[in-house]
Chain A
Amino acid sequence: SQTIHQWPATLVQPVGSPLSLECTVEGTSNPNLYWYRQAAGRGLQLLFYSVGIGQISSEVPQNLSASRPQDRQFILSSKKLLLSDSGFYLCARNVGGGRGNEQFFGPGTRLTVL
């Protein structure tokens, strides 16, 4: 089966501290991977996507960055967190071909910046 793991599940960090969220995918090779953020009272917003190792595209300018060091690993980072970075971060992958690019999501990481 194809599974998405996200770590950690929850995180509380002070303003100005660094951040590293990890997403790993099982059961598929060369997936397209995505980072979304769901902020309180707001919808899901696409932050980054990657079509392969070392290939990162950003959707919106922000305090965050992403990296893809391995085919099945996608990392979201920040050097200095802001209060506005609080939210629920979701990693996703899509399935192409006959599945019509159906997108599947991981369990998410709840980030609270204090």
Chain B
Amino acid sequence: KQEVTQIPAALSVPEGENLVLNCSFTDSAIYNLQWFRQDPGKGLTSLLLIQSSQREQTSGRLNASLDKSSGRSTLYIAASQPGDSATYLCAVSRSPLFSGGYNKLIFGAGTRLAVHP
């Protein structure tokens, strides 16, 4: 059974710091890994998707890496800003070929990030 763990559960940093959020998963047979952002009371915003054949993806100040063999992914946020404050969720999926044609995501519990001025 796939389990996803995110460390730390909460993080508070001053503005401008570079930071790393960690995600680990127990079954390395994943199809892709997706990082999301969730603001309080809101839906999830997709940040980055890394397919199993990829090692990393970048979008602006965000960089996500994937080491499938060790079951780990990191989300790197450069030069953090107060607007980055949110909960960050990591989710993995198996291939739709083995999931009845759909993309079941298994989520971690998230890392709650606070960036203070």
Contacts and interface: CB of A to CB of B under 8 A. Distances in A.
Interface stretch (B15-23, B44-52, B63-71): B44-52
B41 A100 contact: no
Is chain A's binding surface mostly helix, strand, loop or mixed? strand
B109 A43 contact: yes
A59 B91 CA distance: 17
Contact of A43 (B34, B103, B104, B107): B107
Contacts, number: 63
Range class of the B interface residue count: 20 to 34
B44 A100 contact: no
A32 B43 CA distance: 18
B70 to A, nearest CB: 21
- The bracket for how many chain A residues form the interface is 20 to 34
B13 to A, nearest CB: 23
A102 B46 CA distance: 8
Interface of B: 31-32, 34, 36, 41-46, 49, 51, 89, 91, 93, 96, 100-105, 107-110
